[in-house]
């Protein structure tokens, strides 16, 4: 592994995401994750790449506390995820922004309501919502489309709404699971540029992707997974071919 | 929890009803259909019960008194009988009244030609009961009373009425139970299908940090409202039908009026309204609460 820790220490002293000897087995068959160790510092931009079945999605689910590991320790934002009680999960997730490949917007609500929804969950007042939502919509370039319903938007625009929703509560970490998976190259780049901008403002960004071009061009830290194991972790890496 | 969160959940619950028009319609229709049948059977069965009860109250036991029982003793016996739970009404007839009534019923004409009362020893009580199944107990009691010489009863009528009454009781419980179970099955299925479609919505809420309460509240409010609307529709329909049926029966079959007396609509609905609303709202609440719970473990 070419990973140098010096650069990481420049960003922060302690990892904001830490996985120690984490394994996850579903039932029969090979484990989805096998003794994974990964540390991501505050403010980092990290790509997680790998083929289908390599364990990327399981990793995201573990970080979101959708799943529990079979063994090992996971600390996110200072919280021991494994020890988290069920009723503590919502509060934990409010410090994480999440973006999915399929956008996962509330289809029967407009852009404004979709973004405001994240604010309502953390019980922001109406005044704060009216201030914060237009501001974040402007950041993602959708100020003029706040009344539109998801089906009236292009894929790129829907992903921007999802990004706005993920960011409106100012999370310290943004998890993006294949955020460009359903987008054309132009929109993909727009989303990645937004993610980079968000990262430059101090948010730690973790992107799971298959997009070789983006990974190679952005020259960020790249963690490559294969069959549940981290096979490579490079500071300014590229997409490693399977063969 | 903030008051505006509660208010938000309430507004969302109401909005959900309009957002998911087809689901709302299907759920309201299912609840309405089930509760309509329930209301209909309930009305019919309570009226049957009422008719049997009325018939029971028309069955009299006759207690013949010995000759020369004083007026004070008659009043005493009457008071003793009225104190009994199973007794509804006690009518006293003197020997002269008994003779006059008998003569009138048998068309004897002028009875002044009789110098003596042939029914001199027939002063009696006609006793009407609340619960005909207790007839034998009452007869036993009457036979122990000083001054009573003979007790006439219709044991067969009492047996038949008691039998009919208990059959109606069992049938009512059976039909209502079956309808209730069918209603719960149909309604919870409709709610399950409706919420299954919106599983993703619940999951999105959970992914972005919504508490179980926050994710569930709009659905539960929606379920309660659907249950409430679904109970009002059949209540209105049964109310209308019941009134029409009573008016029709009264005008078309007036000869039956003496035999069949329908319960006033207010009396039936005083019980039916809270039952139907309770079932509707309860099923809406339980159905939505349990179905949403399945999708909360994200």
CA of residue A109 relative to chain centroid, distance = 23
pLDDT tens sequence across B204-216:
888 888 888 888 8
Banded model confidence at residue A8, pLDDT cuts 50, 70, 90: very low
Q: Is the pLDDT of residue B260 over 90?
A: no
Q: How far is CA A83 from CA A20, A31, A41, A86, B75, in A?
A: 14, 21, 21, 9, 83
Banded model confidence at residue B237, pLDDT cuts 50, 70, 90: very high
Mean pLDDT of A63-78: 94
pLDDT the model gives residue A167: 92
> Is there a contact between B209 and A121 if contact means CB atoms under 8 Å apart?
yes
| Residues in chain B whose Cβ is within 8 Å of chain A | 2, 4-5, 8, 19, 200-201, 203-212, 214, 298
Query: What percentage of chain B exceeds 70 in pLDDT?
Result: 92
Q: How far is CA A48 from CA A93, A142, B88, in A?
A: 20, 28, 87
Mean pLDDT of A83-101: 91
CB pairs < 8 Å spanning A and B: 51
Q: Is the pLDDT of residue B201 over 70?
A: yes
Query: What percentage of chain A exceeds 90 in pLDDT?
Result: 73
pLDDT the model gives residue A18: 96
> Is there a contact between A123 and B19 if contact means CB atoms under 8 Å apart?
no
CA distance A230 to chain B (A): 26
CA distance A3 to chain B (A): 32
In chain B the domains, ranked by start, together with CATH numbers, are: 3-55+183-295 (no CATH), 60-153 (3.30.70.3040)
Q: Which of A58-72, A111-125, B104-118 has the lowest mean pLDDT?
A: B104-118
> Is there a contact between B211 and A90 if contact means CB atoms under 8 Å apart?
yes
A237: three-class secondary structure by DSSP? coil
Banded model confidence at residue B246, pLDDT cuts 50, 70, 90: confident
Q: Which of A87, A118, A123 sits opposite B208 (nearest CB)?
A: A118
Name the nearest CA neighbour of A206 among A165, A241, A166, A169.
Answer: A166
pLDDT the model gives residue A71: 95
Query: What percentage of chain A exceeds 70 in pLDDT?
Result: 93
Banded model confidence at residue A12, pLDDT cuts 50, 70, 90: low
Q: Is the pLDDT of residue A6 over 60?
A: no
pLDDT tens sequence across A178-213:
999 889 999 999 999 999 999 999 999 999 998 889
pLDDT the model gives residue A3: 46
Query: Which position has the higher pLDDT, A215 or B9?
Result: A215
Banded model confidence at residue B240, pLDDT cuts 50, 70, 90: very high
User: Under CATH, what is the fold of the domain A1-95+172-243?
Assistant: Rossmann fold (3.40.50)
Q: How far is CA B11 from CA A76, B79, B211, B296, in A?
A: 35, 63, 18, 21
pLDDT the model gives residue A9: 38
The rounded distance, in Å, linking the Cα atoms of B242 and B237 is 8
Chain B neighbors of A94, CB-CB under 8 A: 208-209
Chain A neighbors of B200, CB-CB under 8 A: 104
The rounded distance, in Å, linking the Cα atoms of A65 and A81 is 6
pLDDT the model gives residue B256: 64
pLDDT tens sequence across A121-172:
888 888 999 999 999 999 999 999 999 999 999 999 999 999 999 999 999 9
Q: Which of A90, A104, A122 sits opposite B204 (nearest CB)?
A: A104
Chain A neighbors of B219, CB-CB under 8 A: none
Q: Which of B5, B208, B212 sits opposite A123 (nearest CB)?
A: B5
Count of residues in chain A: 243
In a mutagenesis test of the B interface, which of A108, A116, A158 is the best target, namely the one with the most B β-carbons within 10 Å? Answer: A108
Query: What percentage of chain B exceeds 90 in pLDDT?
Result: 20
Q: Domain ranges in chain A?
A: 1-95+172-243, 106-170
Query: Which position has the higher pLDDT, B156 or B36?
Result: B36
pLDDT mean across residues, chain B = 84
Q: Which two tokens stand for residue B296?
A: 């909360």
Q: Which of B2, B200, B209 sits opposite A93 (nearest CB)?
A: B209
Mean pLDDT of B96-118: 83
The rounded distance, in Å, linking the Cα atoms of B277 and A99 is 43
Chain A neighbors of B211, CB-CB under 8 A: 87, 90, 121
| Residues in chain A whose Cβ is within 8 Å of chain B | 64, 66, 87, 90-94, 96, 98, 104-106, 108, 117-118, 120-123, 125-126, 165-166, 169
pLDDT tens sequence across B161-180:
778 778 877 887 888 788 77
């Amino acid at each position: 592994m070419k990973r140098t820790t010096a650069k990481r220490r420049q960003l922060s002293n302690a990892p904001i995401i830490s996985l120690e000897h984490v394994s996850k087995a579903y039932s029969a068959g090979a484990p989805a994750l096998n003794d994974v160790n990964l540390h991501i510092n505050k403010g980092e931009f990290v790509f997680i790449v790998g083929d289908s079945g390599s364990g990327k999605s399981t990793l995201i689910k573990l970080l979101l506390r959708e799943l529990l590991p079979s063994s090992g320790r996971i600390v996110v934002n200072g919280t021991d995820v494994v020890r988290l009680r069920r009723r503590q999960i919502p509060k934990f997730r409010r410090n994480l922004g999440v973006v999915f490949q399929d956008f996962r917007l509330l289809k029967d609500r407009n852009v404004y309501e979709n973004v405001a929804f994240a604010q309502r969950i953390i019980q922001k007042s109406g005044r704060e919502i009216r201030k914060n939502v237009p501001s974040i919509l402007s950041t993602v370039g959708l100020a003029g489309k706040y009344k539109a319903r998801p089906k009236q938007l292009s894929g790129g625009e829907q992903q921007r709404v999802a990004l706005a929703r993920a960011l409106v509560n100012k999370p310290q970490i943004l998890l993006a699971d294949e955020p460009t998976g359903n987008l054309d190259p132009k929109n993909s780049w727009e989303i990645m540029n937004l993610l980079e901008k968000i990262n430059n403002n101090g948010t730690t960004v973790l992107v799971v992707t298959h997009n070789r071009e983006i990974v190679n061009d952005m020259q960020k830290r790249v963690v490559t997974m294969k069959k549940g194991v981290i096979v490579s972790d490079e500071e300014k890496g590229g997409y490693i071919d399977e063969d | 929890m903030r008051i505006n969160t509660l208010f938000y959940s309430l507004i969302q619950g109401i909005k959900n009803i309009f957002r998911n028009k087809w689901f709302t319609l299907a759920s309201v229709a299912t609840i309405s259909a089930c509760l309509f049948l329930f209301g209909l059977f309930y009305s019919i069965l309570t009226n049957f019960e009422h008719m049997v009860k009325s018939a029971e109250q028309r069955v009299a036991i006759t207690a013949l008194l010995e000759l020369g029982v004083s007026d004070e003793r008659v009043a005493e016996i009457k008071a003793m009988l009225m104190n009994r739970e199973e007794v509804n009404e006690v009518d006293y007839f003197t020997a002269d009244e008994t003779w006059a009534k008998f003569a009138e019923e048998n068309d004897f004409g002028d009875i002044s030609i009789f110098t003596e009362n042939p029914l001199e020893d027939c002063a009696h009580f006609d006793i009407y009961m609340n619960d005909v199944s207790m007839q034998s107990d009452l007869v036993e009691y009457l036979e122990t009373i000083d001054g009573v010489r003979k007790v006439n009863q219709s044991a067969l009528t009492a047996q038949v009425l008691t039998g009919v009454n208990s059959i109606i009781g069992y049938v009512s419980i059976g039909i209502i139970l079956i309808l209730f179970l069918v209603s719960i099955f149909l309604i919870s299925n409709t709610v399950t299908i409706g919420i299954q479609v919106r599983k993703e919505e619940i999951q999105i809420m959970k992914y972005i940090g919504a508490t179980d309460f926050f994710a569930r509240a709009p659905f539960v409010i929606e379920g309660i409202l659907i249950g409430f609307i679904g109970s009002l529709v059949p209540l209105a329909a049964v109310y209308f039908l019941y009134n029409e049926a009573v008016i029709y029966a009264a005008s078309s079959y007036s000869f039956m009026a003496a035999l069949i007396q329908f319960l006033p609509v207010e009396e039936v609905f005083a019980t039916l309204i809270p039952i139907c609303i309770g079932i509707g709202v309860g099923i809406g609440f339980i159905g939505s609460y349990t179905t949403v719970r399945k999708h909360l473990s994200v």
